[in-house]
Amino acid sequence: MAETTVAVRHIRGFTVLALVLYVLFAWMVQPDSIMVRYGRHNGSSWNLWKFRQLDEELERSHTGGRILWLVGSSMLRDSFDVEELNRSLTQNESEYRAIKFGQSRGATGISRGILKQLPLREGDVVLHGMSVENQRRDWVEFTQLPDWRIMMMNSSSEIWNIPSWGWQKKLEATVAVPRTFFLYQEEAMDGWTEWLNAPFYGEAPTEPKGRRHLEFRRKTKLKRTQKMVDESETFRNHMRSGDLDLHPTQYNIEALSDFREIVESAGATLVLFEHVGRTIYKDIYLDDDIERDWNRWFAAQPEAIQFPVPPDDGYYDMKHPNAKGRAVLTAYLVDWVTHRWDQPPMDWVTSWQQQRAKTTSMLSPSQQEPAE
């Protein structure tokens, strides 16, 4: 009996100690705590950091004070050079200045986590890019995003609306407290790793700047792009009949309804454009019925507009613009802010069609259409 009492006392003590250590460590893991700063590595975390640095008064200090909010995925991130965009808007004496929030895997359901926090005002414009692969059935599962990234960008009620998650997974995500600990513990551990490895490298680690996530990826071409084309049938992103889900409950389409509600309630304007990609993208990655249904659905969206599509060598892979493609899209956006065209005027159409026609196709001989 006495031994049992001692054992229980020890267990109680160890439990209390473990709880204290957990609370202490959890308290140390905050969005901008020192170890998180040294380990910050993903687009969602960097975009939330950028939002916390936002000085709305300064951003609206120009004449007119309106903001063009660019909110979306890595494709949107790589599509626009905001520094050049704002330089041109200033020269044009526009009442708009641009602020960009683009993140990897930042489809509508993930970007919603940024949009709902933005200080939208009447007259602002929210530009959001969409792509057919983000309307894939069970998109959350397909992308293999870690749970903490879904939690980072979705509220508890939004998590419970994810069709592909079971009730157990949803419950685990919503009762994870303190929430900041579960959202940032991976980056905190990466920060600890950087510091623990420092003695072996002989110098202290430096805080990452996040330029890839906050500006754009400085790539001109990926070495495996041709392989993506040659092996398109087995490539992971290939969409076959049944893969497209355009129902209102699909994760990103359900989030689009929230986009509309958030923007409309602020008196702002929502604009959607498509990340089309290289000329061959839809031909080799989409079954015919997928392409037909997607084109029809997107064209029916009241906020949809058409943007010029860069030439094929304006992408560093199949869908992400490089410096050449970014220059085309940035220049067009400057003009669009003034004119608000639903589709590019003929001079833009002629220019970009000529550019695309000059581009050598990446299709291998076996994939090309036979000559008539």
CB 231 within 8 Å of CB 91: no
Give the DSSP H/E element, type plus range, for residue 273: strand 269-274
290 vs 229: which has the higher pLDDT: 290
Q: For 280-333, write each residue's pLDDT tens digit.
A: 888 888 999 999 999 999 999 999 999 999 988 899 988 999 999 999 999 999
Q: Is the per-residue pLDDT at 249 higher than 90? A: yes
Cα maximum dimension of the chain = 95
Q: What is the pTM of this model?
A: 0.87
Burial class, 95, CB count within 10 angstroms (exposed 0-12 / middle 13-18 / buried 19+) = middle
- Least confident segment among 17-26, 42-51, 359-368: 359-368
Give the start-to-end residue ranges of the domains of the chain.
Answer: 32-358
More confident residue, 155 or 220: 155
Mean predicted confidence (pLDDT) in 331-345: 90
Confidence at residue 200, expressed as pLDDT on a 0 to 100 scale? 85
Work out the average pLDDT over 235-261: 93
Residue range 206-233: mean pLDDT, rounded:
80
pLDDT of the residue at 362: 44
Give the tens place of pLDDT for each residue, 29-69: 789 999 999 999 999 999 999 999 999 999 999 999 999 99
Lowest mean pLDDT among 49-58, 98-107, 223-232: 223-232
The more confident residue out of 72 and 341 is 72
What is each CA distance from 65 to 68, 72, 202, 246, in whole angstroms?
10, 22, 49, 37
pLDDT of residue 370 exceeding 50, the answer is no
- DSSP-derived secondary structure for 212-239: HHHT----S--TTHHHHHHTTTTSTT-B
